Amino acid sequence: MSNKWILGARPKTLPAAIVPVSLGSAASFEEGFSPFPAILCLIVALALQIGVNYANDYSDGIRGNDGFARTGPTRLVGGGLAPASHVLKAALLMFVIAALSGLYLSLITTLWLIPVGFICILGAWFYTGGSKPYGYRGLGEIAVFIFFGIIATNGSFFVQSERLAIEPFLLSCVTGLLSCALLTVNNLRDYENDKKVEKRTLSVLMGERASRNLFGVIVVLSLLLSLLICLWHIWVLLVSLAVPLLYRSVKIVYEANDVTGWNNALRLVGALQISFGVLLTVGLLIPS
Asked whether the predicted pLDDT for residue 128 surpasses 90, the reply is no
Q: What is the pLDDT of residue 79?
A: 84
Interatomic CA distance for residues 146 and 143, integer angstroms:
5
- CA nearest neighbour of 283 among 15, 34, 23, 16: 23
Mean pLDDT along residues 239-246? 97
For residue 35, give Cα distances in angstroms to 27, 31, 66, 177, 179.
Answer: 13, 13, 40, 26, 25
Question: Residue 210: which residues within 8 A CB-CB, separation 6 or more?
Answer: none
Q: What is the pLDDT of residue 93?
A: 97
SS3 189: helix
Phi-psi region of 75 (alpha: psi -120 to 50; beta: other; left: phi over 0): beta
Neighbours of 282 (CB within 10 A): 14
State the distance between the two ends of the chain, measured CA to CA, in whole angstroms.
44
Mean pLDDT along residues 39-46? 97
pLDDT tier, 182 (very low <50, low <70, confident <90, very high otherwise): very high
pLDDT tier, 74 (very low <50, low <70, confident <90, very high otherwise): confident
Neighbours of 207 (CB within 10 A): 11
Asked whether the predicted pLDDT for residue 67 surpasses 90, the reply is no
Mean pLDDT along residues 36-52? 96
The better pLDDT of the pair 74, 152 is held by 152
Q: What is the pLDDT of residue 3?
A: 87
Q: What is the pLDDT of residue 85?
A: 95
Mean pLDDT along residues 160-188? 95
Q: Residue 232: enclosing H or E segment and its boundaries? A: none
Mean pLDDT along residues 90-102? 97
Domain 3-285: CATH class, spelled out? mainly alpha
- Please work out, in degrees rounded to the nearest 5, the angle formed at the alpha carbon of residue 112 by the alpha carbons of 110 and 116: 125
Mean pLDDT along residues 94-119? 95
Q: What is the pLDDT of residue 116?
A: 96
pLDDT tier, 151 (very low <50, low <70, confident <90, very high otherwise): very high
pLDDT tier, 70 (very low <50, low <70, confident <90, very high otherwise): low
Asked whether the predicted pLDDT for residue 52 surpasses 70, the reply is yes
Asked whether the predicted pLDDT for residue 69 surpasses 60, the reply is no
Mean pLDDT along residues 121-146? 91
Task: Output the average pLDDT for the chain.
Answer: 92
Is the whole model's pTM more than 0.85, yes or no?
yes
Asked whether the predicted pLDDT for residue 142 surpasses 70, the reply is yes
Asked whether the predicted pLDDT for residue 180 surpasses 70, the reply is yes
Chain segment 205-224, per-residue pLDDT in tens: 999 999 999 999 999 999 99
Any idea where the domains of the chain sit in the sequence? 3-285
